[in-house]
């Protein structure tokens, strides 16, 4: 399949106007082929970040005073726009980010669904009312916007993650300065275009695209009143510390080293399918991806046989080709570091259980299943400890449920976990004992519905959870009103 060669243009969106960036040239290249320029333009400079804040600050009082039902109407129109253009934008997502066409188009539809979910806030409860111990009084808790928010997003869900931060920010009455990962700027432009097509007032949503250093300009701006971030634990913790020093809230969704646990009584056909999806869809580049697999010894051989024969039927290649199940990783730097990471894990004692075929050139990483030694050295192996953000699955064999739970908990991270068992008591015990933000019983570790909380425990998350009713906790602050006539 041939790739389109038209180069799209990258621009900044400041106070309702599209402008070229003031800084150096910025090219967005295709994940599958770094020589292909998908979109080109100029990066924003620090002065344009200041302009974005000035616009967001000027718009904030008017936007906060706009009835929520009216704010919702912009989200609904932007949602309809994304649905209408899902195929085109999803194809661009695939060209830019490298996930398969089905995943790319699916992600655009998901972003549309997120926007319409948050539009529904206008029809949900606005706050809480309490009994007063005093006659003639009511106590109300009302939710108010934080003000001007920074939104900093990663490459791996170029439209869904921005949508799930921008939608609650806007519906709850905040204005936004949005900085996407510089690897996927085109999809950020497309999301902002959806809001522009919806008629969003100038200054409510501002886009600055450019290098990570723009994040420092955002974090340092005096108008910033809160920041939502998804990305690495290292960067997230730095932003949290900066926010704490300034006294503003920061929500950070960070790394993972998620386990799938397959117990002796599991449905192995189901489990092998779900582990395949969790570990290898989107080339393993999800913070919710399965990167550790804990197998009960009694079923380990049979399970690995099922998993690797499924994997052998997967085709890795050009993600625009509908016959392909897995595309590249995001760029050449990432592909190199994953290959080096696998080599290091092998030098530390990991064995290769399976390595898939990949095209000879491009940023492809073979889907890889590594065996982790069952002794104490295995637990020190970098493939057991470190997030590769890649299609690499590290397998540990254990004996029995207790040992499996212990191994699952042996991580600094705690985002998601997938447990495969037919025993309800075991599932309940996992829910009670394992420190994770998301527990899947008999389904893959990835995936997040818009109406339920999303976020991690331990080093995976900081601040209130995202999505669903949880989103209001971060995107608003409350005023408790003691009300007497």
DSSP class per residue in 196-223: HHTTPPTTSEEE--S-THHHHHHHT-TT
By CB under 6 A, name the one of 181, 446, 459, 471 that touches ligand UN1: 446
- Least distance (Å) between residue 154 CB and ligand UN1: 6
Least gap, CB of 253 to ligand UN1 (angstroms)? 5
Q: Are 292 and 259 in contact (CB under 8 A)?
A: yes
Stretch touching ligand UN1 by CB under 6 A, among 23-31, 46-54, 171-179, 445-453 = 445-453
- Residue 436 is a binding residue for ligand UN1 (CB under 6 A): no
> Annotated catalytic residue: which of 97, 121, 225, 253?
253
Candidate ranges 73-81, 114-122, 202-210, 444-452; the one touching ligand UN1 (CB under 6 A): 444-452
Distance CA 463, CA 473 (A): 9
CB of 345 to ligand UN1, least distance (A): 22
Q: What is the dihedral of CA 185, 189, 191, 196, to 10 degrees?
A: 160
Q: What are phi and psi of 152, to 5 degrees?
A: -125, 120
Q: How far is the CB of 286 from ligand UN1 (least distance, A)?
A: 4
Residues 273-292 as x/- pattern, contact with ligand UN1 by CB under 6 A: -------------xxx----
- Closest to 150 (Cα-Cα) out of 201, 231, 98, 206: 206
Nearest to 66 by CA among 122, 21, 112: 122
Is residue 240 annotated as a catalytic residue, yes or no? no
287 is known as an active-site residue: yes
Window 234 to 263, contacts with ligand UN1 (CB under 6 A): 253
Strand order in the sheet with 368-371: 351-355, 368-371, 392-398, 290-296, 258-262, 416-420, 438-441
**116 lies in the site for ligand UN1, by CB under 6 A:** no
Coil, strand or helix at 141: strand
* Catalytically annotated residue among 51, 287, 387, 444: 287
| Of positions 145, 154, 437, 463, contacts ligand UN1 by CB under 6 A | 154
Nearest distance, CB of residue 337 and ligand UN1, angstroms:
18
| Residue 447 within binding range of ligand UN1, rule CB under 6 A | yes
Binding of ligand UN1 by 78 (CB under 6 A): no
Q: Interacting stretch for ligand UN1, rule CB under 6 A, among 111-119, 354-362, 369-377, 442-450? A: 442-450
Stretches 50-58, 126-134, 155-163, 166-174: which one binds ligand UN1 (CB under 6 A)? 155-163
C-beta of 200: minimal distance to ligand UN1 in Å?
24
Task: Please report where in the chains the tokens 């290649």 appear, as a residue.
Answer: 317
Sorted by sequence, the CB contacts under 8 Å of residue 255 that are 6+ apart come out as 232, 233, 287, 387, 413, 415, 459, 460
Burial 81-114 (b: 16+ CB within 10 A, else e): bbbebbeebbbbbbbbbbbbbebbbbbbbbbbbb
Pick from 254, 255, 271, 253: which is nearest to 404 by CA? 271
Identify the sign of the CA torsion 426, 428, 430, 432. Answer: negative
Q: Which stretch binds ligand UN1 (CB under 6 A): 87-95, 149-157, 369-377, 397-405?
A: 149-157
The residue within the footprint of ligand UN1, chosen from 13, 63, 157, 195 (CB under 6 A), is 157
Compute the half-sphere exposure of residue 234: CA atoms within 13 Å on the CB side of its CA. 2
For residue 297, give the nearest of 261, 258, 345 by alpha carbon: 261
Q: How far is the CB of 424 from ligand UN1 (least distance, A)?
A: 25
Query: Which of 146, 207, 295, 448 is the binder for ligand UN1 (CB under 6 A)?
Result: 448
Kind of pairing between the strands at 351-355 and 250-253: unpaired
Binding residues for ligand UN1, how many (CB under 6 A)? 12
The residues that touch ligand UN1, with contacts defined as CB under 6 A, are: 154, 156-157, 161, 230, 253, 286-288, 446-448
Active site residues: 253, 287
């Amino acid at each position: 399949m041939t790739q389109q060669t038209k180069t799209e243009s990258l621009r900044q969106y400041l106070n309702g106007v599209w402008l070229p960036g003031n800084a150096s040239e910025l090219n967005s290249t295709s994940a599958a082929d770094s020589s292909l320029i998908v979109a080109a333009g100029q990066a924003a400079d620090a002065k344009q970040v200041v302009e974005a804040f000035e616009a967001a600050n000027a718009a904030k009082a008017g936007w906060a005073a706009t009835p929520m039902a009216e704010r919702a109407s912009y989200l609904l129109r932007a949602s309809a726009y994304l649905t209408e253009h899902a195929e085109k934008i999803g194809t661009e997502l695939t060209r830019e980010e490298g996930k398969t066409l089905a995943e790319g188009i699916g992600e655009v539809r998901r972003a549309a669904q997120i926007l319409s979910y948050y539009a529904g806030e206008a029809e949900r409860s606005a706050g809480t009312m309490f009994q007063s111990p005093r006659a003639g009084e009511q106590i109300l808790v009302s939710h108010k916007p934080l003000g001007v928010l920074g939104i900093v997003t990663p490459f791996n869900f170029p439209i869904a993650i921005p949508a799930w931060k921008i939608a609650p920010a806007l519906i709850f009455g905040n204005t936004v300065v949005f900085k996407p990962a510089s690897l996927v700027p085109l999809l950020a432009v497309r999301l902002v275009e959806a809001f522009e097509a919806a008629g969003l007032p100038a200054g409510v949503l501002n886009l600055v695209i450019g290098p990570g250093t723009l994040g420092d300009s955002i974090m340092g701006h005096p108008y910033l009143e809160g920041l939502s971030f998804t990305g690495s634990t290292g960067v997230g913790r730095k932003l949290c510390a900066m926010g704490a020093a300034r006294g503003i809230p920061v929500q950070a969704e960070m790394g993972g080293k998620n386990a799938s646990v397959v117990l002796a009584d599991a449905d192995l056909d189901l489990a092998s399918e779900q582990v395949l999806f969790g570990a290898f869809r989107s080339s393993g580049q999800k913070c919710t991806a399965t990167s550790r697999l804990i197998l009960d010894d009694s079923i380990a051989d049979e399970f690995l046989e099922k998993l690797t024969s499924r994997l052998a039927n997967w085709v890795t290649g050009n993600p625009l080709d509908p016959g392909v199940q897995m595309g590249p990783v995001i760029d050449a730097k990432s592909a190199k570091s994953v290959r080096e990471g696998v080599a290091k894990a092998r030098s530390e004692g990991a064995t290769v259980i399976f390595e898939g075929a990949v095209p000879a050139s491009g940023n492809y990483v073979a889907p890889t299943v590594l065996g982790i030694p069952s002794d104490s050295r295995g637990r020190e192996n970098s493939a057991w400890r470190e997030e590769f953000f890649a299609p690499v699955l590290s397998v540990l064999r254990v004996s029995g449920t207790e040992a499996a739970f212990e191994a699952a908990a042996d991580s600094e991270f705690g985002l998601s976990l997938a447990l495969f068992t037919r025993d309800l008591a075991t599932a309940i015990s996992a829910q009670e004992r394992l420190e994770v933000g998301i527990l899947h019983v008999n389904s893959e570790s990835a995936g997040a519905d818009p109406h339920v909380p999303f976020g991690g425990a331990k080093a995976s998350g900081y601040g209130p959870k995202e999505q669903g009713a949880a989103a209001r906790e971060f995107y608003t602050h409350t005023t408790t009103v003691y009300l007497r006539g």
